[in-house]
Structure 1
Amino acid sequence: MKRLLAPLFLATLGLTAQAQAPKWPAITQQTKPWTRWWWEGSAVNKADLTTVLTEYQKANLGGLEITTIYGVKGAESQFIDFLSPKWMDMLSHTLTEAGRLGLGIDMAQASGWPFGGPWVAPADASKYVTYKTYEVKGGASLSEPVSFMQKPIATAIGHKVDIKQLADPVAKNKNMQTLALEQVRFEKPLPLQALMAYSDKGETLDLTSKVGADGKLAWTAPAGALWTLYALFQGGHGKQVERAGPGGEGDVIDHFSKTATDHYLAYFDQAFKGHDVKPIRAFFNDSYEVDDAQGEANWTPQMFAEFQKRRGYDLRQHLPALFNKASEDENQRVLTDYRQTISELLLENYTQSWGAWAKTHDALIRNQAHGSPANILDLYAATDIPETEGEDLTRIKFASSAAHVTGKPLTSAETATWENDHFLSKLSDVKKAIDRMLLGGVNHVFYHGTAYSPPSAKWPGWLFYAAVEFNPQNPFWTDFGKLNQYTARAQSFLQAGQPSNDVLLYLPISDAYTRPGKVLLQHFDGIEHGFKGLPIEATSELLLSKGYGYDFISDKQVQAVKNTGNTLTTSGGAVYQTLLVPDAHLMPLPTLESLLKLAQNGATILLQNQLPADVPGLGNLENRRSNFRKLLAQLKFKAASQAGVQQASLGKGRVLLGNDVPQLLAQAGVRRETLADQGLQFTRRSHAQGHYYFLANWAEKPFAGWITLQTPAKAAAFYNPMTEQTGMARIRATANGLPEIYVQLNPGETCILDTNEGERTGPAYPYLTVAAAPQPLTGPWDLNFISGGPELPAKLQTKELTSWTTLAGDAGRKFSGTATYSTTFPLPQGSADGFLLDLGRVAQSARVQVNGQPATTLLGPVYQVYVPKYQLKASNTLTVTVSNLMANRIEDLDRNHVDWKIFYNTNMPAKLKENRGADGLFTTENWKPLESGLLGPVTLTPAFTGAPAQ
């Protein structure tokens, strides 16, 4: 009842378009959502490819990303080796058919992930470094050989494997799909990389050349000192390609080696010969994910040379510090330099080399940089389409920030991965995941994902192990097109214009690099992984919660910022009001130089809590430190007008220092969007006449009220991407000249405000005001099951709306599919403009028809539609078509021990512990049937449309 009494922003039946009404941007292939397309075992054929591609196109998808993975048991005769001539033939057919249907195609650059395969030679495979120490007294010699025998490792998905039964190298094994190997290291002596001797007097000697082939050291320690010897050895990390399909199994590449990257990509060049692959829009990398095996890939054969070139000193002189055995300061500085070197190698030798290769095929790269042992802002920035995943907004913003700062038009997102456990995710859950991405700056959604499943496959078809299943066999597919249309409408705005954030938030990666850990490298995945506990964690969350628009920026990106006056412009042309340094202790000298130069030219730079205290790293330390201190000495702070804020004038600009971030921002003239205080979330983009605001209400209650925008506007058009209603919003000016706009949003509802700094006229948006109490529709209801299985329950009539698992007996309990509910009702009483039809509870999505005319498709969490009075008659027919989830039918299969888990490699693990059976895999045997159907109560409420009072 409470929900109904608030003014609402609702779907409307039968409104005719008016000539002056705001018009939606065109929906294009790019504005539609795309999906990851799993080719299991690459067991595809041309006829079925055409069939399923047509299904995807009808569901309003814009494109697909082909990712080949492990196969399906029983389909072995259909397996096709990755990149084989037959596989390329299937790819060519797909590209042709996708082009005919208007679908885009991306392609993963591996079968599974990360980059790797059987063509990766041991020299190009991922490496690790290990070490041993020896002590030798002065005048003595080392009696034992300098050697290291690698311990064997053999792990696999879902079973134990005997390494004695494996061939070396791994690619020689014949039954790789069955083996499903994760990591393999054979017992073997490792090659020596360096042998360094350090005396207790501070002397260092390179003994590498004095070690014979038998490991014997031909050296007598100089007298008068105790010598500690560090022997470094290079090992093969042994990481195998995850989820690989036939012909794609093998070692993962050394991501820090350009040679390894080039060799890897050359294999694709060879496979592509004779085929037109130019229709491929982008090649894709599914995150780093090398170091989720035992140990870590932390070495490359050229490390010593690369380190010397980049850091200006010989790492071999500081091996004790690398392994945390020197003074704390030296340990931190050498470790920072090592991590910085790894970051640069990953950027240049992998990401940039891959991007340059893609351009030789007129293609882009789409890259998930998160999880990498590097500054992921720089990796994202080197990517044509940065891609993120996850649920945390600050994590999502890493990818969109790099896109904004460097002028990339698209930020993509792997969306709805493991949104819930198998078969439990509703379309409303997926919509919430999409909204979260859009709020984080994403404007190019990729579902995770759609498994190619031949039409002949027995239900539930071919599935992927990480829910959600965006496949035609899922009952929600009947209404999936509506969700895709919604996403396309929202993205049509969010792909337009330019990013409009006010604050650049400096990422203090040097403070993260300096922190020791259990292993040499750190892996950065948003704030949670890599920056947890640093001040930037709280600062970024504060900015988000308080309604400040911001983007993260790296040292490398700071050094490319320019300004004329107080406006900061990044390399990609994005404009910001200020840059905030969140309580950083360490800062590279070039970054400080850039910040102070910006201030000299008129910018306002904000320092939270403290001045940076020192430079990171060891190379050329005293010179860098001296210059750093000279720069800081220019800053003469005095109390500013704002309490607790100090100001140092510098040239045409200033540097502000203080503990309170909102005070700092206020002093810099940055306004926050106060609508955040009202429970609304937003993202904002600018255009030539004003701004686009994407607003979301994911609170539990409806929102109806005035919001103040912090950008100038004299007019605003409302667009509802779910209902497709448009109209001019009610707007008024505040005392300080800012616009106030009246907004109505149900829980889970979003809208786009298109503001204009000039005058703009058009039909008013039809706000809704409830005029009287709701009137129940009491039925009776005719219930007719129209599609699904395992069998269609019999037709029935019911007075009471309850779950069809109760109404339809045993057949209803195990039914997954779609049913229609029909009833008649007289013209409701009341003098209102129309009536709010509320379906109450629905499990899970519903299409509504009134008098045979489609009204809308409702995905939840609120199921309401406005019906104009002129659409009703003395007697009316209401038809509600409801689709449930896959869960009840799967539960029936599990209860009857029908084996539907027929996949190699990872055969349907569970996300939640309670859904794991004795074998550790997903099961529904302990489930009870989920409520399904129209649950009500269904009501009609008299309502008026029109602008609210001032």
Structure 2
Amino acid sequence: MVTTRIRKKAILFLLLSGFAFVRPFSQPLTAQPLNTAKPWTYWWWMGSAVTREGITYQLEQFAKAGLGGVHIIPIYGVKGYENQFKPFLGPEWLAHFQFTVQEAKRLRLGVDLTTGTGWPFGGPNVTPAMGAKQWKLVDGKLTSVPTRQQVKRPAPGGAGLVVDPFDKQAVRQYLTRFDSTLIPLAEKPRAMYNDSYEIYGANWTDQFLPEFRKRRGYDLNSQQAAFLDTTMAEASVRVRQDYYQTIAELLLDQFTTTWTGWARQNGYLTRNQAHGSPGNLLDLYALADIPETESFGTSKFPIPGLRVDPDYEPDRFGNPSVLAMKLASSPAHLLGKPLVSSETTTWLANHFKVSLSQIKPQIDELFTAGINHIFYHGTTYSPPGEAWPGWLFYASTNYSPSTHFWNEYPALNAYVERSQARLQASRPDNDLLVYFPMQDIWALPGKSQGGIQQLDVHHVERWLSPQPFGKLCEQLRQQGFTFDAVSDAQLTGLRAVNGRILSKGSSYRVIVVPDCRYMPEGTMQQLARLAGQGATIVFEKNLPQQAPGFRDAARRNALVKTMAQALAKRPGVRVAADVPATLTGLKVLPEALGANGLSFIRKKADDAALYFVANLNNRFTEGWVPINRPVSQRFDPLTNKTEMLITRKTPDRSDEVWLRLLPGQSCFLSSLVSTDAWGTPEILPKVQKTTTFRPLIQLSGPWSLSFGAGRPALSGTRSLAQLTSWPALGDSAVYFSGKAMYTTTFDLPAAPQAKTIYRLDLGDVRETARVWINGHDAGLAWSIPFELEIPAGWLKQTGNQLKIEVTNLSANYMRLRDKQQPAWKKFYDINIVDITYKPFDAARWEPMPSGLLGPVRVLANE
């Protein structure tokens, strides 16, 4: 027993120290040592015009900044560099790719690779017969015709038709291009990658009709009228369900299984973005070693001071969705997959306008949804001697060395690493499994090109949020219930033991079935099996009344009704008008964190409780919060400090913790005593009482302001009677991008007390601030709220000296740069566009607020 416990703690220490992750599947012997706790980045190779010198230079910068790896995506090139283009998978490209993996190993960086260029899969070896297809009515018959879609944003050597994802032979033939080029390399990437499903209008394949007959038991042409009917008559809905079921099975069997099997056979892991697919996302994500979701655009966080780019069009592009993210993390939790990744901060704001304070809440939202392997979107390879701003990919948030936050970038990466170390070394601890009623979604009209249901992450309001599943999950989430989603197929892998519902990777207390009309007979059988083993199952409002599909519908409907009635008589089965109230009656209690407006994920680490909590709202600041798992300490991944929590027992013997968590802040709560297994955070003295902070003084100035490194160069020192934005200072300050130093002095109303905790509240900062108090480095404030702790020993009653170095965005300088030297926009294909996909023109922008805007206050606890 002691030996087992020591072994567990040793593994936990290795995980949290960043020595890779322990995998239940094989990894190539040549694979580099990996650090998955650190964030990774997409790395676009424009035209693959890379050099060994440039590769080494940029990889070394990545490692120094705190990244853990790169994901190479060859795309279109840069004008004027045509003689340096390296055709994809050609000898020169392969030599540079091999060198990249070798250099990455030297620097302890991982490397992933897209199985192709641009997106989706396709290229020069895809013949018209292998290309994507759609159906067309020809002479009264459903007939296969080509879509003629080409690879989007291809690299040199990667252009060509998109491969048919519903044809196994076409997919396998496409992959043969890699068999004789990439596979023989001695140095291999960690994983192969597939981007989200963007095969427009593809809704058919040459063998669709015989496959449909084999799988559904009838000829689709015999029910052509129902298939073409758009009135949503019952026969039409049922035939369409069969059509969608067949499309989904073909995508799973012919594409995802083929690509995944090929990758694993050749020693690669797989990262797959299943979203956008016309299939059951839970089943598709489940096949990947690393399921990957996407955070595109900006979420609607009511965090005070958090801005959204006014040019972003949510009606057009949508907003990130926690529920969509959980469709990727749920299969990982269910099956025990250690990593769930995300394409992170795509189009968060216009180029040159993204701040670190905007990035953190998006990452925190991903963490609460079960994501633990961040991939920034992203970084563009740019030659070392290229003039600023270098080469840029149109749709990204720029994480390249040319970004305005590069010097502060390591602070973000350290935050992500500390957080992911804990999230990767822990297991999910969710109470509920919520059934995903795919057949009810397939009963809805198809709104995507080709008239099909493509389940994307951009517009969940079109297919997910309005449905009973979406409404119930959002209700459960807001009230603080913890849950994963489960598909029809995944129910077969569950068993119930002593009232717990067990999967390969987790355990649950209750299966919840949202109000749904259709349920396959096989699913009803699985629920009956689990109920017979003692599982608790709660149906929302009604029992399912119909089986999906057209063939023999009346008999199967009657069978589903009979099975449902029998199931309802089981001791552990409930039909509930109010699911949350029923769950509470079953002693499955929500976490009060949710009712307080806090986002969280609850996990277990070596049987100890672990919560990650983020305040992405504006309803909570501080107070006593009930907690369902006993916790004793709080870790702040922003500061790397741990403190013991103030806890108490309520009259009913439940646990409460005193929590101060301002909008924008996040923390870990755990029951573990700080050990080396959690790294080596600074341990703060135990606080003896609750800490409510009140303003002690507000600094009124005057302020001395001197501009430092930046563009255009500014000199001299200015005296400010009050804090104001740099553009308001006139002259070249309206275009300045860089750093400026603020200095002032202040007095306290009384001598500082040793037992008093002081904090510096900087108010509104555009965009980051490094602070020195009486010569002491107080740290970097880069996220909302812009607060820093002031140790009492640093302060004196009079004559305190405060220095604040502020770095702003590069947007104001780009207004000038784009007007005077627009030739940097020299990329092929889409070139560079703004967030509305119009040609990029920063010269028309209004100046962005910059500098220390305040108010600046010293806070003290009561």
The TM-score by the shorter chain falls in which range? 0.7 to 0.9
Moved over 6 A (4+): 757-762
Letter in 1 for 2:274: A
> Which residues in structure 2 correspond to 1:109-124 (within 5 Å)?
109-124=115-130
Matched, 1:857 2:780: yes
* 1:373-772 paired onto structure 2 within 5 Å: 373-390=278-295, 391-517=320-446, 519-525=450-456, 527-570=460-503, 572-621=504-553, 624-635=556-567, 648-650=568-570, 653-700=571-618, 703-711=621-629, 713=630, 715-755=631-671, 763-764=685-686, 768-770=691-693
Please give the alpha-carbon distance, in whole angstroms, between the structure 2 residues aligned to 1:682 and 1:801. Answer: 39
Quote the offset at 1:385 in angstroms.
0.7
The structural deviation recorded for 1:892 is: 0.7
- 1:628 CA drift (Å): 2.6
**Change in CA separation of 1:126 and 1:592 when aligned onto 2, cut-off 3 Å:** same
Deviation at residue 826 of structure 1 after TM alignment: 6.2
1:899 aligns with 2:792: no
TM-score normalised over the length of structure 1 = 0.80
Deviations, residues 297-328 of structure 1 (Å, cap 9, x unaligned): 11112212222222223333323322228993
Residues 605/73 of structure 1: CA separation in 2 closer, same or farther (3 Å cut) = same
Kept in 2: contact 1:793–1:808 (CA 8 A) = no
**CA distance in 1 between partners of 2:143 and 2:524 (Å):** 38
Residue type matched to 1:565 in 2?
A: N
Structure 1 position 939, deviation (Å): 3.3
Structure 2 counterpart of 1:234: 144
Q: How many angstroms does 1:699 deviate by?
A: 2.8
Residues 223-263 of structure 1: CA deviation (Å, up to 9, x unaligned): xxxxxxx2232211111111111111111100011111111
Native 8 Å contact 1:569 1:575 kept in 2: yes
> In 1, Cα distance between the equivalents of 2:362 and 2:272?
20
Per mean C-alpha deviation after superposition, the further-off stretch among 389-398 and 369-378 is 389-398
Taking the aligned partners of 1:659 and 1:525, their CA distance within structure 2 comes to: 30
Tell me if structure 2 keeps the 8 A contact 1:689–1:756.
Answer: no
Match of 2:762 in 1: 839
CA contact (8 A) 1:776 1:939 kept: yes
Distance 1:720 1:130, change over 3 A: same
Structure 1 residues 889 and 757, CA, compared in 2 at 3 Å: closer, same or farther? closer
Residues 1:821 and 2:712 aligned together? no
Matches for 1:259-278 after TM superposition, within 5 Å: 259-272=169-182, 274-278=184-188
- Rounded to whole Å, the distance in 2 between the matches of 1:584 and 1:806 is 57
**What whole-Å deviation, never above 9, does each CA across 1:478-523 have from its counterpart, x for those lacking one?**
1111011111111111112211111111111111112333644211
Q: How does 1:53-132 map to 2 (within 5 A)?
A: 53-132=59-138
How far apart, in 2, do the equivalents of 1:368 and 1:529 lie? 19
CA contact (8 A) 2:695 2:857 kept: no
The one-letter code sitting in structure 2 at the alignment partner of 1:336 is: Q
2:250 to 323, 345, 367: 345
CA separation in 2, counterparts of 1:758 and 1:634?
51
Give 2:262's aligned amino acid. W
Deviation by residue 1:114-156 (Cα, 9 ceiling, x = unmatched): 0011111111110111004xxxxxxxxxxxxx5xxxxxxxxxx
Offset at 1:803? 4.6
- Structure 2 distance, partners of 1:802, 1:70, is 45
Q: Pick closer, same or farther for the CA change 1:656–1:496 going to 2, 3 Å.
A: same
The answer for the alignment partner of 1:26 in structure 2 is 17
Which has the larger Rg?
1
1:795 matched to 2:705: no
Quote the Cα distance in structure 1 between the aligned partners of 2:500 and 2:147.
48
2:310 maps to: none
Q: Supply the AA of the counterpart residue of 1:30.
A: T
- Code of the residue aligned with 2:813 in structure 1: it is R
Determine the C-alpha separation between the residues in 1 that align with 2:454 and 2:408. 39
Equivalents in 1 of 2:814, 2:217: separation in Å? 62
Residue type matched to 2:623 in 1? G
Q: Report if the CA contact (8 A) 1:832-1:943 is conserved.
A: no
- CA 1:765 to 1:322, structure 2 compared with 1: closer, same or farther past 3 Å? farther
Aligned-partner Cα distance in 2 for 1:422–1:852: 36
Once the 2 structures are TM-superposed, how far is the Cα of residue 896 of structure 1 from its aligned partner?
3.2
Cα 1:622/1:943, change in 2 over 3 Å? closer
* CA deviation after TM superposition for structure 1 residue 66, in Å: 0.5
Q: Which string of whole-angstrom CA distances, capped at 9 and with x for unpartnered residues, describes residues 581-633 of structure 1? A: 11111100010011111111111111111111111113454554454343234
Q: Retained in 1: the 8 A contact 2:41–2:67?
A: yes
Does the residue aligned with 2:180 lie in a helix, a strand or coil? Answer: helix
Counterpart AA for 2:394: Y
Candidates 833, 849, 856, aligned match of 1:931: 849
1:878-917 correspondence to structure 2 within 5 Å: 878-896=802-820, 898-912=822-836
SS for the counterpart of 1:114 is coil
SS for the counterpart of 1:899 is: helix
Deviation at 1:825, TM superposition (A): 5.2
Q: Tell me the alpha carbon deviations over residues 389-422 of structure 1, each in whole angstroms, 9 at most, x when there is no partner.
A: 1311111111111211122111111111111222
Amino acid at match of 1:287: S
Structure 1 position 895, deviation (Å): 3.3
Gaps of 5+ in 2: 1-12, 20-34, 296-319
Q: 2:613 touches 2:666 (CA, 8 Å); kept in 1?
A: yes
Instruction: Give the structure 2 partner of residue 215 of structure 1.
Output: none
Q: What are the Cα deviations for residues 521-568 of structure 1, in whole angstroms up to 9, with x where unaligned?
A: 211125434335321121111111111111111111112211113211
Counterpart contact for 2:598–2:620, Cα < 8 Å:
no
Q: 1:322 to 1:821 in 2, by over 3 A?
A: same
Whichever residue aligns with residue 497 of structure 1, its letter is S
Q: Read off the aligned partner of 2:151 and give its amino acid letter.
A: V
Unmatched tracts of structure 1, length 5 or more: 1-21, 133-145, 147-229, 636-647, 945-950
Give aligned-pair identity as a percent: 38
- The SS at the match of 2:803 is strand
Q: Which amino acid aligns with 2:203?
A: N
Are 2:612 and 2:668, in contact at CA under 8 Å, matched by a contact in 1? Answer: yes
CA distance in 2, matches of 1:246, 1:796: 51
Q: 2:826 and 2:733 mapped to 1: Cα distance?
A: 26
Question: Secondary structure at 2:813's aligned position in 1?
Answer: helix
SS at match of 2:95: helix
Distance (Å, rounded) in 1 between the aligned partners of 2:494 and 2:667: 33
- Which structure has more relative contact order (CA 8 Å, sep 6+)? It is 1
Distance 2:15 2:644 in 1: 13
**In 2, are the aligned partners of 1:370 and 1:376 still within 8 Å (CA)?**
yes
- After TM superposition, the score normalised by the length of structure 2 is 0.88
CA contact (8 A) 1:607 1:656 kept: yes
